[in-house]
Amino acid sequence: MCLLRERRPKIQAGSPCLLLHSSGCPGRVGKSACSSRLLPSSLAENGTSDQERSEKILEATTYLDVRRPAYEPPAPPAPMEPLYDLGPEGKVRETPEEVFEALKALGYSSFRPGQEVTVMRILSGLSTLVVLSTGMGKSLCYQLPAYLYHKRSQCLTLVISPLVSLMDDQVSGLPPCLKAVCIHSNMTKAQREAVMEKGEVQVLLLSPEALVGGSGSGSSCLPSADQLPAVAFACIDEAHCVSEWSHNFRPCYLQLCKVLRDRLGVRCFLGLTATATLATARDVAQHLGIPAEEGIAVRSAAVPPNLHLSVSMDRDRDQALIALLQGERFGCLDSIIIYCTRREETARIAALIRTCLQGTLVRRPLKWIADAYHAGLSAAERRRVQKSFMSGQLRVVVATVAFGMGLDKSDVRGVVHYNMPKNFESYVQEIGRAGRDGEPAYCHLFLEPEGGDLHELRRHIYGDTVDFFTIKKLVQKVFTPCKCLELHQKHQDVIRVRKFLEEEDSSSMARQSGQRVCYKHERAIPIQQTGWGISIETLLCYLELHPQHWLELLPHTYSSCRLLCYRGPQQLRTVAQRLDSPPIAVFLARERLAGKNHSNASSLEFDVVSLSDSMGWEVPLVKRALRQLQWDPRLREGKSGVMVEFGELSFHLRAYGDLTDQELDSVCDFLHQRVVAREKMALGQLCACFQAFQSVAFQTWDETGDGFGVRMRRDVTPAVSFPLQLRDWESQIRADIRRFLSIRQDEKFSGRAIARIFHGIGSPCFPAQVYGHDRRFWRKYLTFDFHQLARLATEEILASR
């Protein structure tokens, strides 16, 4: 029995109605499964009192808050049978002749190390993680199985590739016997459909966002499983992004395997990466479903043998860098990348190099010598620098890590780290941009002896973390309370009154057995408003992947709607009262009941996602209904004089609204523990990286000889210590915190927020442009431990209340 039918207003047969529930509730129940919501049109017109009309409109719309039938996603297709069975003892069989023939068809005469075992594992249906350094031939590991699987059963191989800009090149770079296409979220729907109609395709390249973006929402860039050929296996390029322990973690990678399993029935995964520490690799392997006892199937040395590495601890880095670039080893190299941590530094170093090297080398134009690159430059400027570097018209690029992702230049001959990288994986990835052609290349790292780089990188890590208070605010926004439980209980009363107690339906039984009454509500959280360090998307992914599935992430959406009537309040009243516009009717009814009167307003602004949720409509339907007002002929011929705008790009999700206080606390604790663990791990990696470089560093660059030093250095500042002891400065710091709080009495700070300001860490809530002007506090206590500062600040805040 449909629990909801009880509360449906009675509508006379044949009476004119507004259709309030035209295509299904957010649980996407079809029209037939859940009866349409009908509102007598008389309610939307004049003649009834405001209060009465509002109550009736809401009466007709609230039952959806009670319980929506659970959305049952279609069952995934059955997984593909592997090409080869496992041999006795469950081991991969000997490579058959057919595989060597396929290798030849792809243009190669023999396998390189790691390729054969990988190919055979994939053809035997075993998920595999391949960690091979750049240029070792990882691509063949998916190309060959894709070719053979398709030959046998016309199936498809999915390749998830993070760089949309490189996808077209990847497609055209495949061997001629492999037909591939790509789909990414920058393509229009028509372009995507045209791609899918291209006929026989062996490989489909997808961006992670294109795949995950549509999870469960029906707006995926990818056609549904029943429209696609069977998927043989999925290859995840740059697989280290799956692991949150990796330097390049991307939240949507977290959802990849789940989506591939649940929607496309994929069981066999191939992860490819050139940079993964053992911890990252283990984590990725776990995501790919590789049993722990199999370990990491294919793994080579992290650093390609053609790279010559060196580290020095020069006191004057600028001078040493110039000398290095003029020296015997780097002086003759034509293509060099210099990595810096800070954007401002890139411009300064590039100018320094241009000035110092002008005229000292072979006669070349000034613009050939060096240029800066960072994410703060305009897109055109970045393109210009990258193009000049690629074409050999620029010798040195001084860049932040923004440069190099997807750089396809095989003859980069040198990489210099002016600043220390944040961990060993980043280092390996950055030096991996040199010598991809297999020819010798040189990489030098300047390790700041005073530990200044270390402090800077520590600041970045603290800047990426949030405190418990901020997490709590997010949790409150995500799990906004709903009325499901209250309405459910009212409904129980009705049943009891009607003596139907003994026939309680399945949903009330469910509640008694501890299951939820609420079937999740749609919520939007504006991306701009969330002044977060850590990606809020990461936190939301944690909640989605939690065993309790606290929420479901949907593709981003514009959540705010602004409706403006050019002909003033009278026109808005007409829209609200006479037109069949259920969203406006419902919004105004809710506002009226909340005591807000819009009768003299000519514009409205509201959250279209929560409105849609309260009506039980899909967001796109509500948006369409609102947009139609712009052209409604009953208002005026042609343009109606009503303007409807959507703004505020937001995270869009579906979450429970009936969590108990204990559950909310446990969600906060869970998120906080994850955040703290990430911070700890990042700090640990940073220190380990510093100590490792320190142990092999030379005093100056010109001692470096053939590579890393072998002497342990003992005459430098230890990595983990702070030069100034907090206890000696405590009273001064506390006084400064009190002064800061008294100057900014109108604002609210957490202890962590003050520590961020004292460390000069900007955030959308406390931007450097505003707080950085006050030099009395900004960056003042940079050399003190962040957590101790936060503790002192928290104590002072509590004492001031």
Ligand X SMILES: Nc1ncnc2c1ncn2[C@@H]1O[C@H](COP(=O)(O)OP(=O)(O)OP(=O)(O)O)[C@@H](O)[C@H]1O
Binding residues (CB under 6 A) for ligand X: these are: 108, 111-112, 115, 132, 134-140, 274, 436
Q: How far is the CB of 74 from ligand X (least distance, A)?
A: 35
C-beta separation of 455 from 320 below 8 A:
no
- Of the pair 274, 478, the CB lying nearest ligand X is at 274
Question: DSSP secondary structure string, 681-734?
Answer: HHHHHHHHHHHHHHHH-BSSGGG-TTSS--SPP-SS--TT--SS-HHHHHHHHH
Q: How far is the CB of 525 from ligand X (least distance, A)?
A: 36
For ligand X, the nearest residue by Cβ is 137
- Of the pair 142, 606, the CB lying nearest ligand X is at 142
Tracing tokens 């009675």 back to the chain, one arrives at: 10
Q: How far is the CB of 579 from ligand X (least distance, A)?
A: 57
Q: How far is the CB of 394 from ligand X (least distance, A)?
A: 21
- Burial of 212-232, coded b for 16+ CB within 10 Å and e otherwise, reads bbbbbbeebbbeebeebbbbb
Q: How far is the CB of 240 from ligand X (least distance, A)?
A: 12
Q: How far is the CB of 102 from ligand X (least distance, A)?
A: 12
Q: Distance between CA 741 and CA 338 in Å, rounded?
A: 42
Q: How far is the CB of 384 from ligand X (least distance, A)?
A: 24
Q: Distance between CA 441 and CA 414 in Å, rounded?
A: 6
- Of the pair 436, 523, the CB lying nearest ligand X is at 436
SS3 of 74-86 = CCCCCCCCCCCCC
- Of the pair 135, 463, the CB lying nearest ligand X is at 135
- Of the pair 132, 588, the CB lying nearest ligand X is at 132
**Of 116, 95, 797, 761, residue with least CA distance to 460:** 761
- Of the pair 52, 408, the CB lying nearest ligand X is at 408
Q: How far is the CB of 433 from ligand X (least distance, A)?
A: 9
C-beta separation of 470 from 534 below 8 A:
no
Exposure on the CB side of residue 719, measured as CA atoms within 13 A:
19
Q: Estimate the crossing angle of helix 661-696 against helix 424-431, to 10 degrees.
A: 60
Q: How far is the CB of 137 from ligand X (least distance, A)?
A: 3
Q: Which residues pair with 646 in a beta bridge?
A: 561
- Of the pair 404, 760, the CB lying nearest ligand X is at 404
Which are the contacts of 496, defined by CB distance < 8 A and separation ≥ 6?
none
- Of the pair 169, 193, the CB lying nearest ligand X is at 169
C-beta separation of 365 from 392 below 8 A:
no
Q: How far is the CB of 86 from ligand X (least distance, A)?
A: 24
- Tell me the two tokens of residue 664: 């909310």
Q: Please state, in angstroms and as integers, the Cα–Cα distance from residue 670 to each residue in 543, 547, 665, 774, following that order.
A: 9, 12, 9, 36
- Of the pair 142, 558, the CB lying nearest ligand X is at 142
Q: How far is the CB of 197 from ligand X (least distance, A)?
A: 29
Pairing of strands 414-417, 521-526: unpaired
- Tell me the two tokens of residue 547: 């065993």
- Of the pair 135, 376, the CB lying nearest ligand X is at 135
C-beta separation of 694 from 713 below 8 A:
yes
- Of the pair 426, 694, the CB lying nearest ligand X is at 426
Q: How far is the CB of 169 from ligand X (least distance, A)?
A: 11
C-beta separation of 531 from 477 below 8 A:
no
Exposure on the CB side of residue 543, measured as CA atoms within 13 A:
25
Q: How far is the CB of 696 from ligand X (least distance, A)?
A: 25
- Of the pair 129, 644, the CB lying nearest ligand X is at 129
- Of the pair 140, 475, the CB lying nearest ligand X is at 140
Q: How far is the CB of 243 from ligand X (least distance, A)?
A: 17
- Of the pair 139, 217, the CB lying nearest ligand X is at 139
C-beta separation of 553 from 535 below 8 A:
no
SS3 of 588-643 = HHHHHHCCCCCCCCCEEEEEHHHHHHHHCCCHHHHHHHHHHHHHCCCCCCCCCCEE
> Edge to edge, what strands does the sheet with 441-446 contain?
307-312, 441-446, 414-417, 336-339, 396-399, 370-373
Q: Distance between CA 165 and CA 168 in Å, rounded?
A: 7
Tracing tokens 């670039």 back to the chain, one arrives at: 325
